[in-house]
């Protein structure tokens, strides 16, 4: 049984490149048998089979790649890896870190019978707006690590949105005593237990019910072409490992981490960061709404107060033209890359839903994560690109079918290209220039001043 579980673990979870879109702000690259994960702030190395020779050369090549990116790297060595791999890592300057057991259980073999908790205790899902509780859980997670996947990394990956993660808390008389988080691993048959702050079997019972619900939900991921999730995987030592073993998990291997950092300090934030119920993102929206006299309360077309240094185009010329819309996004993204200050973040926001902030110079290029698309107002939603100070950006209005670009630095980079693509300038500095968009019998027609 354990051998079969190890085969499933090795073939599905090791050297894995996640299906798109994958973890937020991450890039995965292949170097022979090696899969490198680059997060901008750090990176990881994983693999299955390695060549029996030239391991030292392979290790040094990974170091060079991560040094070029300025990313510290973690290399996980499993008991099944070549016995001299660890020696080559140490010789290259890697430092040994934590060691844990990898535990796997077939989901069908685990008891789903509800556990009777002591009086005053309960297990429940954490809601995303429980800010004080989430801060408390983050503190517990840091104090109890390391985990298979830290809660902070899970949040940065974007696991907090959608259906793919369960974050549960054990409360005693209303106060958080322990927490645990588990993630459906897209494209596999595995559910990964990212971590537990204390060995509480009741979390397992809750996750089995959650997995059952997700398997039946029409909006959930469908692993391996639609097959159900079959396995739970965890990493643990000590009392937490003992709890997993008692619940029916099996030790399949051990894993030890090795760490190396380039000389220069790494970036503090990923190239793309989720803005999800985030106070700073909300403040940007509030400042924008105030300055532009904008409201999402009504779909009546508004007379927005566009900035003096702005140009507004009509978008009907590219409506339902995917290639042209992609070109619009590309023009704006190239302009942002040049116009923003080094290290400055740009917000990509939609009202009433999650958005992002990102560094345009660290996205959209070779070996970089994709830039969030936020220029064209598709789906009937407004779209806003802006620096935090509202100095420059774009605003896409689906009700007026317009794109406004504001800020002289950005306009200098994009105005000619956007005019070539879109054709008609409607307003400059918020004032009509005399062009009128009309719909004639032969389609779209433009009447000039």
Using DSSP, state whether 251 is helix, strand or coil: strand
Q: pLDDT tens across 31-87, in order?
A: 999 999 999 999 999 999 898 789 999 999 999 999 999 999 999 999 999 999 999
CB atoms within 10 A of CB 307: 20
Confidence (pTM):
0.90
User: Cα–Cα distance between 45 and 152 in angstroms, integer?
Assistant: 19
DSSP state of 360: G
What pLDDT band is residue 334 in, cutting at 50, 70 and 90? Answer: very high
39 burial level (CB within 10 Å; 0-12, 13-18, 19+): buried
DSSP notation for 87-153? HHHHHTT-EEEEEEEEEEEEGGGS--PPP-PPTTEEEEEPPTT-HHHHHHHHHHHHHH---SS-HHH
For the stretch 412-434, pLDDT in tens is 999 999 999 999 899 999 999 87
Q: Give the residue-averaged pLDDT of 131-158.
A: 93
Cα angle, residue 246 at apex, residues 244 and 249 outer, rounded to 5°: 50
Give pLDDT, residue 228.
80
Q: What is the pLDDT of residues 248-301, one digit of tens each?
A: 999 999 999 999 999 999 999 999 999 877 778 889 989 999 999 988 665 555
CA angle 240, 241, 244 (to 5 degrees): 90
DSSP-based helix, strand, coil % in the chain, nearest 5: 30, 30, 40
Range scoring the smallest mean pLDDT among 122-131, 151-160, 384-393, 402-411: 122-131
Q: Is residue 216 very low, low, confident or very high in pLDDT (cuts 50, 70, 90)?
A: low
pLDDT, position 84? 94
Q: Which domains does the chain have, with CATH numbers?
A: 2-101 (no CATH), 111-247 (3.40.630.30), 272-447 (no CATH)
Q: How would residue 446 be classed by pLDDT, with cut points 50, 70 and 90?
A: very low
CB atoms within 10 A of CB 158: 22
pLDDT digit string (tens) for 95-109? 999 999 999 999 999
- At 57 the three-state DSSP class reads helix
């Amino acid at each position: 049984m354990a051998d079969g579980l190890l085969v499933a673990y090795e073939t599905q979870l090791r050297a894995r490149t996640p299906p798109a879109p994958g973890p937020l702000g991450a890039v995965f690259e292949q170097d022979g048998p090696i899969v490198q994960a680059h997060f901008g702030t750090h990176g990881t190395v994983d693999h299955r089979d390695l060549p029996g020779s030239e391991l030292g050369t392979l290790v040094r090549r990974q170091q060079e790649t991560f040094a070029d990116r300025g990313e510290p790297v973690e290399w996980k060595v499993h008991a099944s890896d070549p016995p001299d791999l660890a020696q080559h890592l140490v010789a290259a300057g890697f430092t040994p870190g934590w060691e844990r057991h990898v535990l796997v259980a077939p989901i069908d073999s685990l008891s789903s019978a509800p556990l009777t908790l002591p009086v005053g205790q309960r297990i429940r899902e954490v809601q995303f707006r429980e800010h004080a509780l989430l801060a408390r859980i983050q503190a517990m997670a840091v104090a109890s690590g390391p985990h298979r996947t830290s809660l902070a990394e899970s949040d940065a990956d974007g696991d907090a949105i959608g259906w793919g993660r369960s974050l549960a808390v054990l409360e005693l008389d209303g106060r958080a005593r322990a927490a645990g988080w588990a993630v459906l691993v897209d494209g596999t048959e595995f559910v990964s237990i990212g971590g537990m702050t204390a060995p509480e079997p009741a979390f397992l019972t809750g996750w089995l019910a959650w997995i059952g619900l997700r398997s039946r939900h029409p909006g959930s991921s469908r692993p391996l072409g639609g097959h159900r999730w079959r396995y739970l995987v965890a990493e643990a030592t000590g009392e937490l490992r003992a709890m997993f073993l008692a619940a029916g998990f099996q030790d399949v291997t051990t894993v030890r981490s090795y760490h190396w950092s380039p000389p220069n300090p790494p970036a503090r934030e990923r190239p793309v960061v989720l803005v999800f119920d985030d106070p700073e993102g909300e403040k940007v929206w509030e400042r924008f709404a105030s300055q532009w006299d904008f409201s999402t309360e009504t779909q009546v077309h508004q007379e927005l107060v566009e900035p003096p240094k702005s140009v507004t185009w009509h978008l009907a010329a590219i409506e339902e033209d995917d290639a042209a819309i992609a070109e619009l996004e590309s023009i704006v993204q190239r302009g942002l890359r040049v116009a923003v200050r080094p290290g400055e973040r740009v917000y990509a926001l939609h009202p009433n839903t999650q958005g992002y902030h990102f560094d345009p110079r660290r996205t959209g290029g070779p070996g970089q994560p994709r830039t969030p698309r936020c220029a064209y107002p598709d789906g009937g939603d407004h779209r806003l690109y802006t620096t935090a100070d509202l100095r420059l950006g774009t605003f896409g209005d689906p009700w007026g079918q317009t794109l406004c670009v504001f800020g002289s630095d950005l306009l200098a980079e994009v105005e000619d290209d956007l005019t070539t693509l879109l054709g008609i300038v409607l307003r400059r500095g918020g004032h009509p220039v005399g062009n009128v968009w009309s719909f004639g019998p032969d389609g779209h027609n433009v009447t000039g001043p």
